[in-house]
Structure 1
C-alpha cells in the first residue's frame, strides 16, 4: 500500500530511453473555463486508429489541475476547444490547434477498475505532423519485477533526467503500481506521462503516487493501456 497524491519508436531498447521523451509534452488546453496548464500529454498510436493520439489523465481536468470541479469523460468534447504543446525538453513547440476529443464517455477520474474498465484517461486526435513522434501502445500485461520507465520532466531542482526507471510491484484495484529507482522521486506534475516498457511501448498512463508504507521508497500508480486502449480505438472509428 502507498499514500496516493494526485498531482517511430518500435523495437527500442532500454539503452535508447533518452530518445523517447521527445514524444511527451507540457500542454495548454484552451477550455470554456479558461486555459488549463497541468500535467503531461504524450503522442501515441493504435493499429486501428488512422491518426495519432494525444493521451493524458482525466483527473487533470478538475481540482488537481486547478479547475473548480472534476470533469467527466463525456464532458471533455464540449470543454476543451484548442490545444498547444511544448515538449518536455523545451525544444519543440506545437502551435495551437483545434481539439477533437477521443475520450471515452465512461472514463472516470482516479476510479477503480471495478467502477469503470476504462479508468482515468483522456484522449484527443493529434496533428498529422506529430505522427513520427508517436509511441506504440501495448496491451501486454506486465508482471512483478518488470522494468518500466516514466517519461517526464520533474519538479526537482537540478534533475534534468526525462526518463525515470521503476520496477513493477503489482496491481492495485486495476491499476499498476511501480517502485521508482530514484530516491525521493518527485511525483508532482507527472500525471499524464507515459509509462513505457523496455521496448519503448506505452503500457500505462502515470497518475501519481506517493510514499510506500513503512519505507522511504516512492511508488507510482498507473492506468494500464489494457484498460483504456480498446475504448479509444472504438472512438477513433466513429
Structure 2
C-alpha cells in the first residue's frame, strides 16, 4: 500500500484540532508540547501524551524526534538516549497553566526511528515526576479496519482549540497502524509522537509520519501491539 513517508515532527507549532463528535477533548486534556533539556541544549519537537501504567505515569512520544528530524545534529540510538536527555518539560496544549516534568528516558532496547519497513520501535518513554490531573490509557484491543480513530495533537492550519483530527483505519498489524484523515488539508508538521485514539479515548497508536496521494491524506504510526509489548518488557 502507499507508504510515502513524510516525517512530521517539528518545533513549536500553532495548535489545531478537527471537529470530533465522538470524543471530547475537555474530557481528555492529556496532550502536550514537550521540551527536552539535552547535551545539545534545549530542544522543542513534536507532540507527547501522558498515560498511566500500573501505578505510575509516563510521557510518551516518538523516538525519531531525537535525530535531525527533531533539530538534533544526528540520530541518537536507544543506548544513548538516557545520556542525551536529562529533563523533559511538558506544556499542556489544553490549558496553559498545566505543566509537568520528567527525568531521563526509560531504556527501551531496540528503539529507533520509523523506516519504510516498520514503525513499531519508534517510541520514547519518560516517567513523570508528578501525578497528572488527566491521563490516557493504553487500549486492550486493537482497532479494526474501517473504524474511526483520532489523532490527538496540534496542527498548523486549523483553529488552535481543535485538538482531535478524525481518520479511518486502513491497516493494522505488528509493524504499522495506518489511517486516512477525514480532512485532507491538515498540515501534520509537529504531530510526531501524538496519540492515535479510539472512540473511547484510548491509545491505539503513536503518530509517526504522513503523506498525501491523489488528494487524500494518510498517516502511519506505531501500532498498539508494539506499544503493549514495549510497556510490558521495559516499563515498570
CA distance in 1, matches of 2:112, 2:39: 20
Q: Which structure has the highest helix share of the two?
A: 1
Q: CA deviation at 1:121?
A: 0.3
Q: Is the 8 A contact 2:168 2:182 kept in 1?
A: yes
Q: How many residues align?
A: 224
Q: Is the 8 A contact 2:29 2:94 kept in 1?
A: yes
Structure 2 residue 29 is the aligned partner of structure 1 residue 22: yes
Q: CA deviation at 1:108?
A: 1.3
Structure 2 residue 235 is the aligned partner of structure 1 residue 224: no
225-234 or 50-59, which moves further after superposition?
225-234
CA distance in 1, matches of 2:161, 2:177: 25
Q: CA deviation at 1:86?
A: 1.0
Q: Is the 8 A contact 1:113 1:173 kept in 2?
A: no
2:205 match: 204
TM-score (norm 2): 0.86
TM-score (norm 1): 0.85
Q: How does 1:50-199 map to 2 (within 5 A)?
A: 50-94=55-99, 97=101, 99-111=103-115, 118-130=120-132, 132-156=133-157, 158=159, 160-171=161-172, 174-199=175-200
CA distance in 1, matches of 2:79, 2:140: 24
Q: CA RMSD in A?
A: 2.3
Q: CA deviation at 1:92?
A: 3.0
Secondary structure of 1:52's match? strand
Unaligned runs of 5+ in 1: 8-12
Secondary structure of 1:189's match? coil
Q: Is the 8 A contact 2:172 2:223 kept in 1?
A: no
Q: Deviations over 1:31-90 (max 9, x none)?
A: 1111110001100123xx321111000000101101011111221111110111211135
Runs of 4+ in 1 over 3 A off after TM superposition: 13-16, 111-114, 157-160
